[in-house]
Amino acid sequence: MSTPNAASYLTAPGGTFTVKDAPYSKPGPGEIVIKNAAVAVNPMDWKIQTFGAILPFPKQYPAILGADVAGEVYEVGEDVTRFKKGDRVIGKPSWFLTARPQDGGFQHYTVCISSVVSPLPASIPFKSGCVLPLALCTAAMGLYPSTRLALPLPQPTKPKSINKVLLIWGGSSSTGSAAIQLAVASGVTVIATASSKNHGFVKGLGASAVLDYQDDKIIENLVEMIKGAGGEFAGALDAIAEEQTWRACAEVVKALGGGKVVSNLPTTFVDVPEGVEVLPVNNTSAIVQHKEIVEGIWTQFVPEALKAGTLKAVPEPVVVGTGLEKIGEGVELCKKGVSAGKVVVEI
């Protein structure tokens, strides 16, 4: 007898999120099914609702979105040895890679590729754990590929300094929080930006210095701070992913002699300063193109770092309620914006 399932479907571009029955799909080779206890909402969810397909998904409607889940393993597919039924886990659904509805997060049961799943310690609630997966993947695809910032992979404990300095714009955001923790675990000195009220939070993640992005002299102050930090400048990661933020990063990089800016913005970057290269984060096909990075993060770093407490499940979950019926409300709240938090729906 098939397992009953339900999902929150986006009916159409510009449409609403509607809960209805969904088929249960068994896992294929290398996959697991997660019985979701909590899911997080991301900016791409409201952007797809508002603007339609991006990058170029979803391919059809109604669509099941959602790229952050936490829950228990319900079923494992062939060749999966890291997990068993009942394990507490977090995972990054890959619906935007596969275009399959069973891979979306906004449902009771989600199929995940096991290489982007990690055990979740019992000490971390599901509502906290689900803030991590997409942010970790996005940050990692900016920090580690040789065509991006090419940092060494992170160590779960006692990383050795590599004498490099990195700028992270938007340190209190979900991606920024993950990027700071990954970069520090890679032995990098991090200089970050955030609003003044979030400076303590960002420093607590390991940033050596945090500057207020609203300061009129933010560019000059960042350049001075990075020069004074010592070490080679590694480049900049724009975690906010807006035109004004990648351009601000580019100004800093230019003033420091040139280099790379990575930004999670699906666009063509124009009028880039001479000597500066602005590159998008390719998160869609990471599982296929960067298997060694995915393994280094999800198999080696995340499980051990969560267990050791060196990777924090941040930012704080902003729980809008319980049940798939709350997905639409969560997407609306995410669109309005939350500071140093991430919108979560418990299932």
| Residue 327, domain CATH | 3.90.180.10
Give the contacts of 32 (CB within 8 A, at least 6 positions apart): 73, 74, 75, 76, 77, 80, 83, 89, 91, 111, 112, 114, 117
pLDDT of residue 55: 58
Domain harbouring 177, CATH code: 3.40.50.720
The torsion angle over the Cα atoms of residues 111, 105, 340 and 151, rounded to 10 degrees, is 40
Identify whether residues 152 and 258 lie together within a single domain: yes
pLDDT of residue 125: 99
Identify whether residues 111 and 250 lie together within a single domain: no
pLDDT of residue 296: 97
Domain boundary among 263, 284, 305: 284
pLDDT of residue 98: 86
Identify whether residues 199 and 263 lie together within a single domain: yes
Low-confidence stretches of the chain (pLDDT < 50) are none
Burial of 28 (0-12, 13-18, 19+ CB in 10 A): middle
